[in-house]
A and B are shown apart, each in its own frame.
Chain A
């Protein structure tokens, strides 16, 4: 742990920010001064003050509390999307890389075709068909990034496949399931961990973009992207703090995820060391 902090101070700072966000998400109910939907009609669009540290929105809701509760959505979608994406990406990448042949050819052409679609456009299209909601955002973003991840996991599987110990296991008569479970999967854990942290920032950003456009997590549950949504622009022109704090929280979370991801990639993938 200390070695990591000493060798990668920015990565450690990123991890700390992320841990803080996670704690905020888990403890929002205890530490937030107000409820996220607690409206006070007499305190509409109030500037930051002792009673409301970050000010209030157009319904008189406390902005600090809403930013704190917003961490719940970002972290739930971020970590949930990472898990769904890695499960899907690992399954497709393992099958494609391990079995190879025609199956690999077909799967990889499907991945090629999928990667021609802009991430946001395909996420918007799937969300439009599934309908808004926390679970649907997690599923959609997990699916979209999982397909992309499968390419990286496949190449990791291919490099493991070239090793002699796999040939030896095969010669000893190991079944496919045992080969994958005991030999391939443990040896591709490093790229899987790297992908997870790198994707975390991308998923948090894309969820915010979806909510910003009105296709993510529906109100009244606060999400940082939704709080910045164009619908609130009229109020932001009178109360600019509405446009400031959700964006700061969002940028901090993405910064934390990116820094941690970069540091882990540098440590776990020696080929990339020093190139970034």
Chain B
């Protein structure tokens, strides 16, 4: 298990290096000079040369990359062109909001997807199965931002009630109110992803339920719940956890839209502001931070295999 964990940890380094290279290259690889655009559209500096020097873009690419990585390793993710504030400060202030939304959305997804997926597999081709599969098909086809718009618009029109948008309660002002304001966005985001996880859970459970050891367990006289939860679910867990881990980028991406609709001051609304203002150092900082988070969550998923599968521990 130790060797497996160590090997997995070491693999993170080249991935992070490539992620940093990608974030750095994305602005430069795209045709058209970002400096000209910033000058023409937003009048950031007096001249192109001045702005290029301010951004450090007048130096050789390799030197720029090394300087940037050096700064990032010291915790300096760059400074906003608009507010002159370090991007790291804003990310630190806004990250808890995005993280809360993402975690609550994952909880919503799992609360729906796991029981429904298991039930659909255990009662294959029954009415419950068809209902569950129809839900998954619907959840995959309905865009989360449309669901959120309907949740805001329809109750307001028909019942004269609307969720409070724009007034944000901090955690220190009361955890109950803090969590409450995430309920609707987490529901919209969680339901959409629940469709994917439910389908995977059902598929994996169907495969495992056909195995001989499940038949043996049932033949031994074990109860249905003990077989499903103790034998089948444990063996279906690895692919399901992989799928959930693989969904992390979708939760982060989805939170951009949900924060925009529900006026939550998280990283999504932060990056949208930065993108609409072409605040290029902030765009770079957020991309790097989010990608590093995804790398970390992938690592956690891989390390959890050890806990789920004894064969990995012995490797």
Contacts and interface: CB of A to CB of B under 8 A. Distances in A.
Interface of A: 109-110, 112-122, 124-126, 128-131, 201, 205, 208-209, 212-215, 225, 228, 230, 233, 236-238, 240, 243-244, 247, 250-252, 254-255, 258-259, 274-276
B233 to A, nearest CB: 17
A208 B32 CA distance: 25
A110 B294 contact: no
Contacts of A113: 15, 18-19, 21-22, 291
B26 to A, nearest CB: 6
Interface residues of B, number: 56
A208 B143 contact: yes
Given A113-B15, A128-B275, A129-B27, A120 B253 contact: yes
B70 to A, nearest CB: 20
A112 B203 CA distance: 26
B34 interface: yes
Contact of A251 (B14, B34, B143, B290): B143
Nearest to B279: A128
Contact of A236 (B149, B249, B290, B292): B149
Nearest to B291: A116
11 contacts: A112-B15, A118-B250, A118-B252, A119-B253, A125-B283, A129-B30, A131-B37, A228-B149, A237-B162, A240-B153, A251-B143
Interface of B: 14-15, 18-19, 21-22, 26-27, 30, 32, 34, 37, 137-138, 140-143, 145-146, 149-150, 152-154, 156-157, 162, 199, 202-203, 206-207, 249-250, 252-254, 256-257, 260-261, 271-272, 275-276, 278, 283, 286-287, 290-292, 294-295, 298
Contact of B30 (A130, A214, A230, A255): A130
Contacts of B14: 109
A274 B294 CA distance: 31
B141 A255 contact: yes
Nearest to A275: B203
Contact of B145 (A114, A228, A240, A252): A228
Given A117-B290, A130-B32, 6 more contacts: A117-B291, A209-B145, A228-B149, A237-B157, A252-B141, A255-B137
A237 B37 CA distance: 37
Contacts of B260: 213, 230
A121 B298 CA distance: 18
A128 B22 contact: no
Nearest to B18: A113
Contact of B26 (A125, A250, A274): A125
A228 B152 CA distance: 12
Contacts of B286: 121
Nearest to A235: B153
Contact of A129 (B34, B141, B149): B34
- Max chain B Cβ within 10 angstroms of own Cβ: one of A113, A250, A251, A276: A113
B253 A121 contact: yes
B18 A112 contact: yes
A117 B283 CA distance: 13
